[in-house]
């Protein structure tokens, strides 16, 4: 079955989901942040089928999220190391963890805690404004067309409605679906 691709959609969420949207990819990244680097270690930790693992690792290397480095010559073996692009996904996984802690953790509490070495405290991910550092909430932001939005799509009625282009002051979006 052919996979639907969102890699060319004019939306960074769609593009990220295209790369990270299957179960195994997010879990591979989680394991990489735990320090797992070798194919057999990923396979053992996750119980993932070898062909699926090979496919996901190849895609992460192709997308430059991980780098494939030789660590043994006879027989030739490789390890998979997060690149800067891959390490930058930590914030995404930490935000997913916080959401899961809030909405999916059992009565016994959260399963994993992030410990921040710099201050010595346990911490949670928080999405904040890059300028004023105030936490971002859906009701306090609106989505606007960015410079990379394709000109050919800007006049479509659904796009104009989504971004409030026919209104004088669109106000806060309240959700990403706007």
Q: What average pLDDT does this structure show over 66-94?
A: 96
- Looking at domain 12-87, its CATH class is mainly alpha
For residues 68 and 4, is the Cβ–Cβ distance under 8 A?
Answer: no
Split at pLDDT 50, 70, 90, the class of 41 is very high
Residue ranges of the alpha helices (H) in 34-146? 39-46, 50-62, 84-87, 90-103
- Its pTM stands at 0.84
pLDDT in tens, 105-154: 999 999 999 999 999 999 999 999 999 999 999 999 999 999 999 999 99
Q: What average pLDDT does this structure show over 168-172?
A: 50
Q: What average pLDDT does this structure show over 166-176?
A: 54
- High-pLDDT (> 90) share of the chain, %: 83
Judge residue 61's burial from the number of C-beta atoms within 10 Å of its C-beta, 0-12 exposed, 13-18 middle, 19 or more buried: middle
Q: What average pLDDT does this structure show over 18-28?
A: 93
Predicted confidence at residue 167, as pLDDT, reads 74
Q: What average pLDDT does this structure show over 80-103?
A: 97
Q: Residue 20 pLDDT more than 60?
A: yes
Enumerate the domain spans of the chain.
12-87, 90-123
16-20, 134-138, 147-151, 163-167: the lowest-pLDDT one: 163-167
For residues 136 and 129, is the Cβ–Cβ distance under 8 A?
Answer: yes
């Amino acid at each position: 079955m052919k996979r639907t691709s969102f890699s060319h959609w004019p939306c960074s969420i769609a593009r990220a989901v295209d790369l990270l949207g299957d179960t195994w990819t997010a879990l591979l990244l989680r394991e990489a942040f735990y320090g797992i680097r070798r194919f057999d270690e990923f396979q053992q930790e996750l119980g993932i089928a070898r062909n699926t693992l090979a496919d996901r690792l190849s895609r992460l290397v192709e997308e430059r999220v991980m780098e494939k480095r030789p660590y043994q010559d006879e027989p030739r073996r490789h390890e998979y190391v997060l690149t800067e692009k891959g390490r930058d996904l930590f914030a995404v996984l930490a935000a997913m963890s916080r959401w899961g802690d809030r909405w999916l953790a059992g009565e016994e509490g959260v399963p994993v805690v992030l410990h921040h070495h710099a201050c010595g405290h346990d911490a949670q991910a928080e999405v904040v404004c890059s300028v004023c550092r105030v936490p971002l909430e859906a009701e306090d932001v609106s989505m606007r067309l960015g410079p990379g939005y394709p000109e050919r799509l800007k006049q479509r009625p659904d796009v104009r409605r989504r971004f409030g282009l026919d209104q004088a002051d669109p106000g806060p979006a309240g959700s990403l679906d706007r």
